[in-house]
Chains A and B, each alone.
Chain A
Amino acid sequence: MKIRTARPDRGQHSRPRMHCLNKLEAIVVEMQDPKSGVRGVEQKLNITIIPHVISGKDIIAWIANKMKTPPEEALAFGTMLVSYGYIYPLHNHKKLVMCNDTSLYRFQTPYFWPTQKWVAEDVDYAIYLAKRNIRKKGVLEPYEQAHYNHLHEWLNYKWDFIVMQATEQYKAGKERKKPDRVVFDCQERAYWIVNRPPRRTHSAMDCGPDRLIDPNADEKITFDQYRRMNMFYQQAIMRSKVKSSVSLGVLVKYITTYKNHDPFLAPCLPSNPWQTDTDTYWTLNMRRVDIPTKMRVERWSFGLFELLTDLRGRDDFKIFLKKEFSGENLAFWEAAEELKWGTASSISTKAESIFKTFLAPGAPRWINIDGRTMGLTVKGLEHPHRYVLEAAQTHVFMLMKKSPVYKDIQKKALNPAPHNFSAAQLEQNAQNQNPGIHPIILWKQEEEEKVKAAAASAPVDIKAVMSKIDRRNRDIQ
């Protein structure tokens, strides 16, 4: 329902990421060319014959030919056409992909094409569901029934209109001939599967929130903006930069270490909670779990930063510090991090101070690193840049990694088996989602820990200790 007022409309109405639609439409219209387009055949359904049915491999061959791409890219493009709703599959209609075989597809009518301007409204969806209710005599699919009940509650004031319009549209639809009726039903169903996708159907219309600026409108850059852009670029040229060989090397190292831990690139063990709706992964990786998982322990070995940000790692590290690590190594490591992340102008001063405190022979907090690393670092400090202390930092960190405490933790770590859920189990998981531990309980646990830590680090009362020793001596005597 749109409330019209005299005030200017400052709402956000432009849907983002849709400027590809114009290009897609041009391609779909080209596909219709009777001479050079995609060839359609007829589909026979008992007695009715419906024309204009195309097979997947014809479409992909046409796309590959037209855009001069290999078949895998043509397949990806075809899937995009299906997931936007320009072409819909006839069998298996909930899976919006293009298959390179004889599966059948049909073109969608332009009214049901995705557009930037027209959003698929809830009122229209309610009318569609009511029509479907009539046709299927009250037996809707579970997700449709859920939507229906929800819309009945929220659009209640328009419900009379929805019922009236649904019955009228149903009656008007019956006026058409049989094959057209079949095609119309398929078209509408395909449109609503794209715009209100059931669970686990990936349609391309899942776009983000609406924006204020229309991405299709031309942008006028003013004189003042150009002037500021010029100033920015001139200043950027004058800044000193890190050599790309150094920064690219660090980037490559980062990617190779973290490749297996990225949930987008590698499967997450036991299963990604966002995909399977089970929270086993989160419960296994909580702070107070007895045995940490292997992936987590491996992450700790990447760097001290990883170790310190993971709370469980930080607890383990505190225990380790009490036994083996010494204070100046940690201080050096922290100073090196400050150098890395600080401002460009302060690099030379910081490098000087670090050299004086930690590295120079006879320095007050001299760290014990091997000769070769020391030589490299000292040489690098003559022309300091951000990553000059990287070698020394790594050496210091290696000391911890090779220590037997860490190796012990690694051996004991868990390696959970990957989950393998069937479609029915996934549905059930989605319905039985666990709300998790209440944050107040976690906060209480943390407060208790803090109290215990404060009590443990309180200064020892000498008198109490002495009196205890005296008592013991007395008992022995």
Chain B
Amino acid sequence: MGKEECKTMLDALNKVTACYRHLVIALGSTSDSQNLREELKRTRKKAQELAVANRTKLTALLKDKTISKEDRSEYERLWVLFSSSMELLEVDMKRSLELGQNFPLKVPTRHLIQTGMTGSTTTVAARAISVQNIKYEADSNIDTVDLGDLQAEISQVSQMMEEMEMKVQVAPWAVEAKQEAGAELKSSMSVGNSSVGVISICEEEPKEHESGGSRDAGFASICAVVIFFVIVTVAVVLGYLVINMS
């Protein structure tokens, strides 16, 4: 049905927006590199495609005059989701243009900021584009060449959003959200491993990050301990049987 398709496409757009934001935050810092610029370009392309697909679908649904009232409010809600995603994307694209212009990679006097981030963002980009491994194949002056494309894309996106506002008459402030406050806590249950390890709420940075990170390590170690005890119990039982038999 149209609604389900829309929702999956919106989820995909949402995911790409979130990943794009992570990538833009890494611009200009020590984890910036040619690869990052290429990842940005590819994520943008994906975002554009998704945006156009979403837009056509949603405008088609909303222009339909024969839908019921609940359906219409549901489509309006989806429309608000779509337009908010696009606003975030537009702002991030404009900022990435500015940052890309301020921090060209080849100029030796323009140093990258030592923020402490040194890892690569490959995994984030892979999540965005939904591929397993990214192959980097761009030329070495992608940072300057890309900026021209980026400007064109930004103007495209702005135009698209203006058209959207003109064509579809949706009052965003009239939409009621389905999630209540604190809804993100419930959805996150499947995300991090809810922890058997210690979570300290103290404000000092090292401890809280340690506990956040050690949740994965903690879970693995608890599994290992459990398996160990199972094996020991089995061994004890077998030994007892052997002694009994002999």
Contacts and interface: CB of A to CB of B under 8 A. Distances in A.
Q: Across chains A and B, which 10 residue pairs bring their CB atoms closest together, nearest first?
A: A110-B28, A159-B177, A168-B18, A32-B111, A52-B114, A175-B123, A177-B119, A161-B84, A183-B116, A169-B18
A61 interface: no
Interface string A147-169: 01100100011111101111111
Contact of A175 (B28, B127, B162): B127
Contacts, number: 197
Given A156-B176, A157-B80, A172-B124, A45 B209 contact: yes
B154 interface: no
A37 interface: yes
A157 B18 contact: no
B99 interface: yes
Contacts of B162: 4
A29 B107 CA distance: 13
A163 B181 CA distance: 9
B165 interface: yes
The residue in B161, B174, B179 that gathers the most chain A C-beta atoms within 10 A of its C-beta is: B179
B173 A170 contact: no
A28 B119 contact: no
Interface of B: 11, 14-15, 17-19, 21-22, 24-31, 77, 80-81, 84-85, 87-88, 91, 95, 99, 102-103, 110-119, 121, 123-124, 126-128, 161-162, 165, 172-179, 181-185, 187-188, 191-192, 199, 201, 203-206, 209-210, 212-213
Given A93-B205, A133-B182, A137-B185, A172 B213 contact: no
A181 B113 contact: no
A55 interface: no
B32 to A, nearest CB: 9
B197 to A, nearest CB: 13
Contacts of B119: 176-177, 179-180
Contacts of A33: 111
A179 to B, nearest CB: 7
Nearest to A161: B84
Interface stretch (A184-192, A244-252, A281-289, A438-446): A184-192
A173 interface: yes
B175 A157 contact: yes
- Give the size range of A's interface with the partner: 35 or more
B184 A130 contact: yes
Contacts of A134: 184-185, 188, 191
A111 B113 contact: no
Contact of A163 (B26, B27, B176, B179): B179
B27 A175 contact: no
B181 A106 contact: no
Interface string A228-255: 0000000000000000000000000000
Given A110-B29, A157-B175, 17 more contacts: A29-B113, A32-B112, A37-B111, A53-B116, A90-B205, A107-B113, A110-B27, A111-B24, A136-B201, A137-B185, A159-B177, A161-B80, A164-B14, A168-B18, A176-B121, A178-B213, A182-B205
B27 to A, nearest CB: 6
